[in-house]
Amino acid sequence: TLAMMSLLLLSQNAMAEIVVGFAQVGSESGWRTNFSNDMREEAKRRGITLKFADSQQQQANQIRAVRTFIAMRVDAIVIAPVVETGWTPILRQAQRSDIPVIILDRNIRADEDLYLTRIASDFVEEGVKAAQWLVENEQDECRVVELQGTVGSTAAIDRGTGFNRVIDKHDNITIVRSQTAEFTRNRGKEVMESFLRAEDPNSICALWAHNDEMALGAIQAIKESGLAPGEDIKVISVDGIPDYFLAMANGLANVTVELDPHLGAPTYDVIQRYLKGDTDIPKLIRTTGDVYTQATAAEEYQKRSQ
Protein backbone atom coordinates (compact mmCIF):
# COMPACT_ATOMS: atom_id res chain seq x y z
CA THR A 1 0.00 0.00 0.00
CA LEU A 2 2.87 2.34 0.79
CA ALA A 3 4.23 1.87 -2.70
CA MET A 4 0.75 2.41 -4.12
CA MET A 5 0.31 5.57 -2.13
CA SER A 6 3.62 7.07 -3.15
CA LEU A 7 2.82 6.21 -6.76
CA LEU A 8 -0.49 8.00 -6.41
CA LEU A 9 1.18 11.01 -4.83
CA LEU A 10 3.79 11.02 -7.56
CA SER A 11 1.19 11.02 -10.30
CA GLN A 12 -0.80 13.72 -8.55
CA ASN A 13 2.37 15.77 -8.34
CA ALA A 14 3.06 15.21 -11.98
CA MET A 15 -0.41 16.58 -12.77
CA ALA A 16 0.04 19.52 -10.42
CA GLU A 17 3.30 20.44 -12.01
CA ILE A 18 1.89 21.57 -15.33
CA VAL A 19 3.31 24.99 -16.08
CA VAL A 20 1.63 27.16 -18.72
CA GLY A 21 3.00 30.43 -20.06
CA PHE A 22 0.35 32.88 -21.22
CA ALA A 23 1.19 35.91 -23.37
CA GLN A 24 -1.91 38.07 -22.93
CA VAL A 25 -2.62 41.19 -25.03
CA GLY A 26 -2.89 43.57 -22.09
CA SER A 27 -5.70 45.01 -20.02
CA GLU A 28 -7.20 47.41 -22.55
CA SER A 29 -10.82 46.44 -21.92
CA GLY A 30 -13.18 45.05 -19.31
CA TRP A 31 -13.63 42.02 -21.53
CA ARG A 32 -9.88 41.39 -21.54
CA THR A 33 -9.71 41.68 -17.74
CA ASN A 34 -12.55 39.18 -17.35
CA PHE A 35 -10.75 36.81 -19.72
CA SER A 36 -7.44 37.15 -17.79
CA ASN A 37 -9.22 36.51 -14.49
CA ASP A 38 -10.91 33.44 -15.93
CA MET A 39 -7.55 32.07 -17.09
CA ARG A 40 -6.06 32.60 -13.62
CA GLU A 41 -9.00 31.20 -11.69
CA GLU A 42 -9.38 28.12 -13.87
CA ALA A 43 -5.61 27.41 -13.62
CA LYS A 44 -5.84 27.61 -9.84
CA ARG A 45 -8.86 25.30 -9.79
CA ARG A 46 -6.89 22.68 -11.72
CA GLY A 47 -3.59 23.08 -9.86
CA ILE A 48 -1.88 24.44 -12.98
CA THR A 49 0.89 27.00 -12.58
CA LEU A 50 0.18 29.95 -14.85
CA LYS A 51 2.97 32.32 -15.85
CA PHE A 52 1.11 35.41 -16.94
CA ALA A 53 2.58 38.15 -19.15
CA ASP A 54 0.64 41.39 -19.69
CA SER A 55 2.01 42.61 -23.02
CA GLN A 56 0.48 46.10 -22.92
CA GLN A 57 -0.96 45.78 -26.43
CA GLN A 58 2.56 45.35 -27.92
CA GLN A 59 3.39 42.32 -30.04
CA ALA A 60 7.12 42.82 -29.32
CA ASN A 61 6.39 42.27 -25.62
CA GLN A 62 4.42 39.13 -26.44
CA ILE A 63 7.26 37.70 -28.48
CA ARG A 64 9.70 38.44 -25.66
CA ALA A 65 7.39 36.70 -23.19
CA VAL A 66 7.12 33.63 -25.43
CA ARG A 67 10.91 33.52 -25.75
CA THR A 68 11.15 33.51 -21.95
CA PHE A 69 8.55 30.73 -21.67
CA ILE A 70 10.57 28.63 -24.13
CA ALA A 71 13.75 29.23 -22.09
CA MET A 72 11.85 28.19 -18.94
CA ARG A 73 10.76 25.02 -20.70
CA VAL A 74 7.10 25.44 -19.77
CA ASP A 75 4.72 22.58 -20.68
CA ALA A 76 2.55 24.70 -22.96
CA ILE A 77 2.39 28.23 -24.29
CA VAL A 78 -0.82 30.17 -24.77
CA ILE A 79 -0.82 33.26 -26.98
CA ALA A 80 -3.71 35.71 -27.27
CA PRO A 81 -2.18 37.59 -30.21
CA VAL A 82 -2.41 41.38 -30.52
CA VAL A 83 -2.09 41.34 -34.31
CA GLU A 84 -2.26 38.68 -37.01
CA THR A 85 1.14 38.90 -38.68
CA GLY A 86 4.72 38.30 -37.55
CA TRP A 87 4.36 35.08 -35.56
CA THR A 88 6.15 32.47 -37.65
CA PRO A 89 9.73 32.79 -36.29
CA ILE A 90 8.80 32.52 -32.61
CA LEU A 91 6.34 29.68 -33.29
CA ARG A 92 9.13 27.81 -35.07
CA GLN A 93 11.29 28.22 -31.97
CA ALA A 94 8.55 26.80 -29.75
CA GLN A 95 8.11 23.89 -32.13
CA ARG A 96 11.83 23.15 -32.15
CA SER A 97 11.64 22.98 -28.36
CA ASP A 98 8.61 20.66 -28.55
CA ILE A 99 6.37 23.04 -26.67
CA PRO A 100 2.74 23.06 -27.83
CA VAL A 101 1.22 26.47 -28.55
CA ILE A 102 -2.45 27.34 -28.20
CA ILE A 103 -3.80 30.47 -29.89
CA LEU A 104 -6.68 32.15 -28.11
CA ASP A 105 -9.20 34.63 -29.44
CA ARG A 106 -7.69 36.69 -32.30
CA ASN A 107 -6.19 34.87 -35.24
CA ILE A 108 -2.66 34.67 -36.65
CA ARG A 109 -1.39 34.30 -40.18
CA ALA A 110 0.96 31.36 -39.88
CA ASP A 111 1.21 27.73 -40.93
CA GLU A 112 -1.33 25.63 -39.00
CA ASP A 113 1.35 23.07 -38.18
CA LEU A 114 3.04 25.62 -35.97
CA TYR A 115 0.33 25.53 -33.30
CA LEU A 116 -1.84 22.92 -31.66
CA THR A 117 -5.21 24.62 -31.88
CA ARG A 118 -7.02 27.95 -31.82
CA ILE A 119 -9.97 28.63 -29.54
CA ALA A 120 -11.98 31.59 -30.77
CA SER A 121 -15.27 33.09 -31.81
CA ASP A 122 -16.17 34.03 -35.38
CA PHE A 123 -15.44 37.75 -35.50
CA VAL A 124 -16.95 38.24 -38.96
CA GLU A 125 -20.18 36.80 -37.63
CA GLU A 126 -20.13 39.31 -34.76
CA GLY A 127 -19.95 42.18 -37.22
CA VAL A 128 -22.75 40.62 -39.26
CA LYS A 129 -25.00 40.29 -36.20
CA ALA A 130 -24.30 43.87 -35.12
CA ALA A 131 -25.20 45.19 -38.58
CA GLN A 132 -28.32 43.04 -38.80
CA TRP A 133 -29.68 44.73 -35.69
CA LEU A 134 -29.16 48.13 -37.32
CA VAL A 135 -30.72 47.04 -40.61
CA GLU A 136 -33.78 45.76 -38.76
CA ASN A 137 -34.12 48.91 -36.66
CA GLU A 138 -33.34 51.71 -39.12
CA GLN A 139 -35.34 51.96 -42.30
CA ASP A 140 -34.59 55.66 -42.90
CA GLU A 141 -31.32 57.18 -43.99
CA CYS A 142 -28.71 56.34 -41.35
CA ARG A 143 -25.23 57.87 -41.14
CA VAL A 144 -22.94 55.71 -38.98
CA VAL A 145 -19.67 56.53 -37.25
CA GLU A 146 -17.33 53.63 -36.53
CA LEU A 147 -14.80 53.13 -33.75
CA GLN A 148 -12.41 50.45 -34.89
CA GLY A 149 -10.36 48.20 -32.65
CA THR A 150 -6.60 47.76 -32.71
CA VAL A 151 -5.21 48.07 -36.24
CA GLY A 152 -4.10 44.68 -37.58
CA SER A 153 -6.09 42.66 -35.01
CA THR A 154 -8.59 40.04 -36.14
CA ALA A 155 -11.20 41.56 -33.85
CA ALA A 156 -11.02 44.83 -35.78
CA ILE A 157 -10.47 43.45 -39.29
CA ASP A 158 -13.19 40.79 -39.20
CA ARG A 159 -15.84 42.75 -37.28
CA GLY A 160 -15.41 45.54 -39.82
CA THR A 161 -15.71 43.07 -42.68
CA GLY A 162 -18.86 41.45 -41.29
CA PHE A 163 -20.60 44.75 -40.59
CA ASN A 164 -19.80 46.18 -44.02
CA ARG A 165 -20.88 42.99 -45.75
CA VAL A 166 -24.40 43.50 -44.40
CA ILE A 167 -24.78 47.27 -44.76
CA ASP A 168 -23.38 47.20 -48.30
CA LYS A 169 -26.71 45.64 -49.31
CA HIS A 170 -28.68 48.50 -47.72
CA ASP A 171 -28.43 51.86 -49.44
CA ASN A 172 -29.91 53.77 -46.49
CA ILE A 173 -26.96 52.92 -44.21
CA THR A 174 -23.49 54.41 -44.73
CA ILE A 175 -20.38 54.74 -42.60
CA VAL A 176 -19.36 58.41 -42.69
CA ARG A 177 -16.39 58.34 -40.27
CA SER A 178 -14.18 55.47 -39.19
CA GLN A 179 -11.11 55.50 -36.99
CA THR A 180 -9.32 53.26 -34.52
CA ALA A 181 -9.70 53.89 -30.81
CA GLU A 182 -7.53 50.91 -29.82
CA PHE A 183 -10.28 49.12 -27.90
CA THR A 184 -9.93 51.50 -24.92
CA ARG A 185 -12.50 53.67 -23.16
CA ASN A 186 -10.34 56.82 -23.16
CA ARG A 187 -9.60 56.67 -26.84
CA GLY A 188 -13.24 55.83 -27.54
CA LYS A 189 -14.27 59.06 -25.86
CA GLU A 190 -11.60 61.14 -27.61
CA VAL A 191 -12.28 59.79 -31.08
CA MET A 192 -16.05 60.16 -30.62
CA GLU A 193 -15.48 63.79 -29.59
CA SER A 194 -13.56 64.33 -32.81
CA PHE A 195 -16.40 62.71 -34.82
CA LEU A 196 -18.91 65.01 -33.14
CA ARG A 197 -16.77 68.01 -34.07
CA ALA A 198 -16.20 66.90 -37.65
CA GLU A 199 -19.84 66.04 -38.40
CA ASP A 200 -23.10 67.79 -37.65
CA PRO A 201 -23.86 65.81 -34.44
CA ASN A 202 -27.58 65.78 -35.26
CA SER A 203 -26.87 64.04 -38.55
CA ILE A 204 -25.26 61.00 -36.88
CA CYS A 205 -27.73 58.15 -36.56
CA ALA A 206 -25.63 55.41 -35.01
CA LEU A 207 -22.30 54.55 -33.44
CA TRP A 208 -20.79 51.18 -34.32
CA ALA A 209 -18.00 50.37 -31.86
CA HIS A 210 -15.83 47.26 -32.21
CA ASN A 211 -16.05 46.77 -28.43
CA ASP A 212 -18.09 47.85 -25.40
CA GLU A 213 -15.21 49.68 -23.76
CA MET A 214 -14.87 52.17 -26.65
CA ALA A 215 -18.66 52.45 -26.81
CA LEU A 216 -18.77 53.40 -23.12
CA GLY A 217 -16.21 56.16 -23.72
CA ALA A 218 -18.20 57.35 -26.73
CA ILE A 219 -21.46 57.35 -24.72
CA GLN A 220 -19.79 59.81 -22.35
CA ALA A 221 -18.77 62.03 -25.27
CA ILE A 222 -22.30 61.94 -26.72
CA LYS A 223 -23.80 62.89 -23.34
CA GLU A 224 -21.36 65.78 -22.97
CA SER A 225 -22.35 67.06 -26.40
CA GLY A 226 -25.95 67.36 -25.18
CA LEU A 227 -27.34 64.48 -27.22
CA ALA A 228 -28.94 61.31 -25.84
CA PRO A 229 -26.89 58.15 -26.48
CA GLY A 230 -29.19 55.22 -27.20
CA GLU A 231 -31.85 57.54 -28.62
CA ASP A 232 -30.43 60.40 -30.72
CA ILE A 233 -27.44 58.26 -31.59
CA LYS A 234 -27.99 54.50 -31.46
CA VAL A 235 -25.11 52.55 -29.88
CA ILE A 236 -24.07 49.17 -31.28
CA SER A 237 -21.18 47.14 -29.92
CA VAL A 238 -19.54 43.79 -29.15
CA ASP A 239 -18.40 41.99 -25.93
CA GLY A 240 -21.23 42.06 -23.40
CA ILE A 241 -19.40 43.34 -20.32
CA PRO A 242 -21.42 44.17 -17.17
CA ASP A 243 -20.89 47.95 -17.48
CA TYR A 244 -22.37 47.88 -20.96
CA PHE A 245 -25.39 45.86 -19.81
CA LEU A 246 -25.94 48.56 -17.21
CA ALA A 247 -25.72 51.23 -19.92
CA MET A 248 -28.30 49.31 -21.98
CA ALA A 249 -30.56 48.91 -18.95
CA ASN A 250 -30.40 52.69 -18.52
CA GLY A 251 -31.29 53.28 -22.17
CA LEU A 252 -27.84 54.66 -23.08
CA ALA A 253 -26.88 51.84 -25.45
CA ASN A 254 -28.90 49.60 -27.73
CA VAL A 255 -27.25 46.31 -28.57
CA THR A 256 -24.18 44.16 -28.05
CA VAL A 257 -22.96 40.85 -29.45
CA GLU A 258 -21.53 38.78 -26.64
CA LEU A 259 -17.96 37.52 -26.72
CA ASP A 260 -17.40 34.69 -24.23
CA PRO A 261 -14.48 35.52 -21.89
CA HIS A 262 -14.47 32.04 -20.30
CA LEU A 263 -11.60 30.61 -22.29
CA GLY A 264 -9.78 29.02 -19.34
CA ALA A 265 -11.65 25.71 -19.24
CA PRO A 266 -11.41 24.86 -22.96
CA THR A 267 -7.75 25.93 -23.02
CA TYR A 268 -6.63 23.77 -20.11
CA ASP A 269 -8.81 20.89 -21.32
CA VAL A 270 -6.85 20.85 -24.55
CA ILE A 271 -3.50 21.20 -22.81
CA GLN A 272 -4.21 18.41 -20.34
CA ARG A 273 -5.49 16.14 -23.08
CA TYR A 274 -2.44 16.81 -25.22
CA LEU A 275 0.01 16.25 -22.39
CA LYS A 276 -1.66 12.89 -21.71
CA GLY A 277 -0.94 11.88 -25.30
CA ASP A 278 -4.22 12.72 -27.03
CA THR A 279 -3.36 13.89 -30.55
CA ASP A 280 -6.92 14.09 -31.81
CA ILE A 281 -7.35 17.83 -31.25
CA PRO A 282 -9.18 19.97 -33.83
CA LYS A 283 -7.35 22.98 -35.30
CA LEU A 284 -10.20 25.31 -34.44
CA ILE A 285 -12.49 25.25 -31.42
CA ARG A 286 -15.38 27.70 -31.80
CA THR A 287 -17.01 29.70 -29.04
CA THR A 288 -20.32 31.46 -29.65
CA GLY A 289 -22.18 34.50 -28.36
CA ASP A 290 -25.73 35.81 -28.48
CA VAL A 291 -27.11 39.23 -29.33
CA TYR A 292 -28.42 41.25 -26.36
CA THR A 293 -30.62 44.34 -26.39
CA GLN A 294 -32.26 46.67 -23.86
CA ALA A 295 -35.14 44.19 -23.55
CA THR A 296 -33.19 41.86 -21.23
CA ALA A 297 -30.35 44.17 -20.18
CA ALA A 298 -31.41 44.70 -16.55
CA GLU A 299 -31.73 41.00 -15.76
CA GLU A 300 -28.53 40.16 -17.67
CA TYR A 301 -26.71 42.84 -15.70
CA GLN A 302 -27.91 41.29 -12.44
CA LYS A 303 -26.66 37.85 -13.54
CA ARG A 304 -23.27 39.17 -14.60
CA SER A 305 -22.49 41.55 -11.77
CA GLN A 306 -22.88 39.07 -8.91
Site for ligand AHR, rule CB under 6 A: 28-29, 31-32, 105-106, 155, 183, 211, 213, 238-239, 259
The distance of closest approach from Cβ of residue 259 to ligand AHR in the complex, given in angstroms and rounded to an integer, is 5
The distance of closest approach from Cβ of residue 148 to ligand AHR in the complex, given in angstroms and rounded to an integer, is 12
Question: Closer CB to ligand AHR, residue 146 or residue 239?
Answer: 239
The distance of closest approach from Cβ of residue 135 to ligand AHR in the complex, given in angstroms and rounded to an integer, is 22
**Hey, which residues does 180 pair with through a beta bridge?**
148
The distance of closest approach from Cβ of residue 255 to ligand AHR in the complex, given in angstroms and rounded to an integer, is 15
Task: Give the length of the chain.
Answer: 306
The distance of closest approach from Cβ of residue 71 to ligand AHR in the complex, given in angstroms and rounded to an integer, is 27
The separation between the first and the last C-alpha atoms of the chain, rounded to the nearest angstrom, is: 46
The distance of closest approach from Cβ of residue 58 to ligand AHR in the complex, given in angstroms and rounded to an integer, is 14
- How far, in Å, CA of 83 to CA of 102, rounded? 15
In angstroms, what CA-CA distances link 163 with 145, 168, 210, 236, 261?
12, 9, 10, 11, 22
Question: Closer CB to ligand AHR, residue 99 or residue 259?
Answer: 259
Question: Closer CB to ligand AHR, residue 149 or residue 230?
Answer: 149
Question: Closer CB to ligand AHR, residue 46 or residue 210?
Answer: 210
Computed from CA positions of residues 37, 38, 39, 44, in that sequence, does the dihedral angle turn out positive or negative? positive
Question: Closer CB to ligand AHR, residue 106 or residue 177?
Answer: 106
Question: Closer CB to ligand AHR, residue 31 or residue 274?
Answer: 31
- Calculate helix-pair angle for 88-96, 59-72, nearest 10 degrees: 10
The distance of closest approach from Cβ of residue 260 to ligand AHR in the complex, given in angstroms and rounded to an integer, is 11
Question: Closer CB to ligand AHR, residue 31 or residue 163?
Answer: 31
